[in-house]
A and B are shown apart, each in its own frame.
Chain A
């Protein structure tokens, strides 16, 4: 039935093609120097018989259809030289084009997209695309350029805390972001308790963040999609690049395996904070372990113009340990195999087989015998995605099936340990979804992007499933055999966006989307920790649901030099999860009895002004927002601010290219403090001062304000292939003591009084990095 409907839809859309002789031009756009496919390049044809335009997809593929005639084909991509050529459309054409990196546009370019007027024309709203070149210039902690820290400078994205990579989008929680690396889910995107992200910038080609109006091909999380694409590797020539930093070093090797047909890329990074610890004057820090490393690899093989295979993988590991006491290791592994097939000049197919895993181990080393806890979540994922390029329609449809396994915890103990070896039942689940969406240019002014995602979730046996009442007591127990469905949920998720172009410079856009989520994180910490527990939707936990509406105004000035946008959004959240006071999340078979379910709402205004070209580039972003939660068992059942509710968030980023060698940049952030609970009273229990709390999160931490500076010095161009650069950074240049946490305690030495103690993490921190390339 669904297929029938789909075919009917397709036939409707293609019907007009028969009215007139029309031909299609299609192909792939690549970088002439490296052979990397270019994502989002603008392709346009213009002639007496009309005009048409599109942008390349994730694999650099484009397809345009127009009436018979002669046209001028123009391809543009920022930082590349424009390509313009005459074509005669008397039959369908295949045209693969390589673009040379641009010499004429030598400035740093901040871009949302490279399709001219994309900001104004595209129906997609709430999306930010990050230029990886930009990362070289945005100052960051320790000089470690980082995708996740840079997106925190965008409107509507809040950081989880100083220096951390955890982020919150439009009132969503940290676990409500879908983070994809070459389509594989990255469950824990942080290294070293969140100070660094798992994304090694050297290996990354493209980053898109969707805050609203999610396209139907994405699903599974409520608040955002962060879609990260790895570099394919240079298929023209062999190259090495790397960097030596204050706390980490990086190296990347790439090159052709078969020229113009096949290439590879391997990128690695390792920190050496341990060495710093060894040098630390604080003797308690010596001899401890604190490091992480990661490895990205990608390989592709182009059989012919119609068939390409990609294989990519990521492996990352953190090790943190205290000599003779304690060890905690964790890491993500992902592997993706993708097969691109171009059925014909209008139909593009991608098939993906994906594996991803996150696991952690905690070991306590004791005289009385060691014991450890391990936990993991593992997915197998099969995806078929099709794009059909028709006249005024781009139709995207596909199916996706995912199998999940969660091993909540295995406790293993030595013979003589106090601890018992025990394991908690694994949980299995399957998600099946299908989607269809259509981007429809109704006329010159109105463009629609609409679709639906049908998502279903099945909790599978084998296992024993308890059902709990609100008090956390077992009210029934059910046994299910292997592969038997213990519980299933089905949710249609409508997605809709529209843009109305008032003129070349101005447009208004609106969107509505529903998202659902079946994998949930239970975390004791602010913004994620390595020992977070994962749970699936179940007989106790219903899928989380979010509905979001947004309205925006978009404007371009001075031939796209300036981009301005303002968006307002309102989001309703259902079936949100919190845990009870005193809940024990780790190694607890009955963890679902410790949960509370409630709702939330979030609304706000985002303003974004960006200067894209010139010597001085950068942006200003401002967010005014409110995020609240409501749970029957908390705060007397009244709405309370979520912890990361912050009224004002301001970020300024400025990059100034002085000449071909020196680039200076600065960013400044200001934000209202997090919502926290201060004590209202105090009393004494067991001889210790104990605090009495009334309203939840009714207080505010002090505000945060920080200025970071950096300068990049490019090496002299000597004509040889070897190129190097220096980056100098100054994090928190004003040395402001920004609040990280506040503790209440008795005044040391004076038990009659209490005081509030604020901890600040980072004062001014200089950094230096040397980068090379040949």
Chain B
């Protein structure tokens, strides 16, 4: 439903903006906190190199370069007792070659960094086939924008959660797409994905652009993580939801997530 909120805010702000609203960059006195460990762990069902990324957060005032956490011990085990020990291929990037996760299995990530250890559990859901993606025009007032629609059939018997990652000519659409079947269980779904640029506006799609959509089937905890992040993304102080850290499925106050998910990618060229 947060799409509703999105529209409301756009319309309200649009109405006001037409009068005299304005935006300016301001200096703020932000707090600083010690660096926190950040773990971004993905295990997909496609055989290949699987990556676990570990680095540190930085103070708000610094540049967006995040120090790698090197020399950690990274392992994934499954509920059948198999263990895979990841090796560091680049500073902070831990990889395992020729590995895939299997739907239905539960995977546990163990990270040991010095004295500290971090544990996360994620169950890989069954894959729901992504049928196709299409471009659709929507009108917003008298303006027309292109959005991407993902088509699939949601299975009726279980609860499903999805996340999408969209790239236009290789550039990441700067939005978080996460949805579940709470209101749509068992139906033919057309998921609207709004391309967004780095200035909080529609990312325009032109003829010849290559559009790539990855659909992930994710578990409940991981969905909660992305959904919370999406609610807060660009809903800063003063508007929207009170910001807080999204509920991570990793123990010991680590930031980030560990997600065992299926992945499928479709590409189209805009006409």
Complex alpha-carbon distance, A643 and B237, angstroms: 9
* Complex interface: chain B residues within 8 A of A695 (CB): 31
Instruction: Out of B21, B22, B141, B255, name the residue touching A683 (CB < 8 Å).
Output: B255
With an 8 A cutoff between CB atoms, is A739 at the interface?
yes
Question: A526 near B239 (CB under 8 angstroms)?
Answer: yes
Indicate with 1 or 0, residue by residue over B26-57, a CB within 8 angstroms of chain A CB atoms.
11111111011010100000000000000111
With an 8 A cutoff between CB atoms, is A690 at the interface?
yes
* Complex interface: chain A residues within 8 A of B158 (CB): none
Report B222-271 residues with CB < 8 Å from chain A CB.
224, 227-229, 231, 233-247, 255-257
Indicate with 1 or 0, residue by residue over B10-22, a CB within 8 angstroms of chain A CB atoms.
0111111111111
With an 8 A cutoff between CB atoms, is A411 at the interface?
yes
With an 8 A cutoff between CB atoms, is A6 at the interface?
no
Given contacts A288-B11, A322-B141, A328-B8, contact A758 B199 (CB under 8 A): no
Instruction: Out of A682, A688, A691, name the residue touching B174 (CB < 8 Å).
Output: A688
Question: A681 near B60 (CB under 8 angstroms)?
Answer: yes
Instruction: Out of B56, B141, B176, B246, name the residue touching A323 (CB < 8 Å).
Output: B141
Residue of B7, B8, B183, B239 with highest tally of chain A CB at under 10 A = B183
Complex alpha-carbon distance, A681 and B27, angstroms: 16
Question: B64 near A283 (CB under 8 angstroms)?
Answer: no
With an 8 A cutoff between CB atoms, is B159 at the interface?
no
Complex alpha-carbon distance, A276 and B15, angstroms: 9
Partner-binding segment picked from A348-356, A438-446, A706-714, A741-749: A741-749
Instruction: Out of A283, A420, A531, name the residue touching B141 (CB < 8 Å).
Output: A283
Complex alpha-carbon distance, A370 and B14, angstroms: 24
Question: B28 near A742 (CB under 8 angstroms)?
Answer: yes
Q: Give, as a whole number of angstroms, the nearest-CB distance from B38 to chain A.
A: 4
Question: A763 near B22 (CB under 8 angstroms)?
Answer: yes
Question: B35 near A681 (CB under 8 angstroms)?
Answer: yes
With an 8 A cutoff between CB atoms, is A309 at the interface?
no
Question: B187 near A757 (CB under 8 angstroms)?
Answer: no
Indicate with 1 or 0, residue by residue over A600-643, a CB within 8 angstroms of chain B CB atoms.
00000000000000000000000000000000001000000001
Question: B187 near A418 (CB under 8 angstroms)?
Answer: yes
With an 8 A cutoff between CB atoms, is B82 at the interface?
no
Indicate with 1 or 0, residue by residue over A133-149, a CB within 8 angstroms of chain B CB atoms.
00000000000000000
Instruction: Out of A283, A588, A689, name the residue touching B143 (CB < 8 Å).
Output: A283
How many interface residues does A have (CB within 8 Å)?
100
Complex alpha-carbon distance, A290 and B33, angstroms: 44
Question: A762 near B19 (CB under 8 angstroms)?
Answer: yes
Given contacts A284-B140, A367-B190, contact A743 B244 (CB under 8 A): no
Indicate with 1 or 0, residue by residue over A674-691, a CB within 8 angstroms of chain B CB atoms.
101111111111111111
Q: Give, as a whole number of angstroms, the nearest-CB distance from A635 to chain B.
A: 9
With an 8 A cutoff between CB atoms, is A581 at the interface?
yes
Interface size class of B (residues with CB under 8 A): 35 or more
* Complex interface: chain A residues within 8 A of B192 (CB): 366
Q: Give, as a whole number of angstroms, the nearest-CB distance from A452 to chain B.
A: 37
Question: A762 near B21 (CB under 8 angstroms)?
Answer: yes
Report A394-445 residues with CB < 8 Å from chain B CB.
411, 417-420, 422
With an 8 A cutoff between CB atoms, is A7 at the interface?
no
With an 8 A cutoff between CB atoms, is A698 at the interface?
yes
With an 8 A cutoff between CB atoms, is A4 at the interface?
no
Complex alpha-carbon distance, A748 and B58, angstroms: 20
Residue of B56, B185, B229, B243 with highest tally of chain A CB at under 10 A = B243
Question: A765 near B19 (CB under 8 angstroms)?
Answer: yes
Complex alpha-carbon distance, A285 and B113, angstroms: 53
Q: Give, as a whole number of angstroms, the nearest-CB distance from A482 to chain B.
A: 28
Question: A696 near B15 (CB under 8 angstroms)?
Answer: no
* Complex interface: chain B residues within 8 A of A737 (CB): 22, 24
Name which residue of chain A comes closest to B238, CB basis. Answer: A741
Instruction: Out of B64, B142, B190, name the residue touching A689 (CB < 8 Å).
Output: B64
Give me 17 A-to-B residue pairs in the complex whose CB atoms sit less than 8 angstroms apart, sorted by A's number.
Answer: A193-B8, A680-B32, A680-B59, A682-B58, A682-B64, A683-B56, A683-B66, A683-B255, A685-B256, A693-B243, A699-B28, A742-B236, A744-B60, A748-B199, A752-B64, A756-B30, A758-B25
Q: Which residues of B contact A (CB under 8 A)?
A: 1, 3-5, 7-8, 11-33, 35-36, 38, 40, 55-60, 63-66, 136, 138-143, 165, 172, 174, 176, 182-190, 192, 197-200, 224, 227-229, 231, 233-247, 255-257
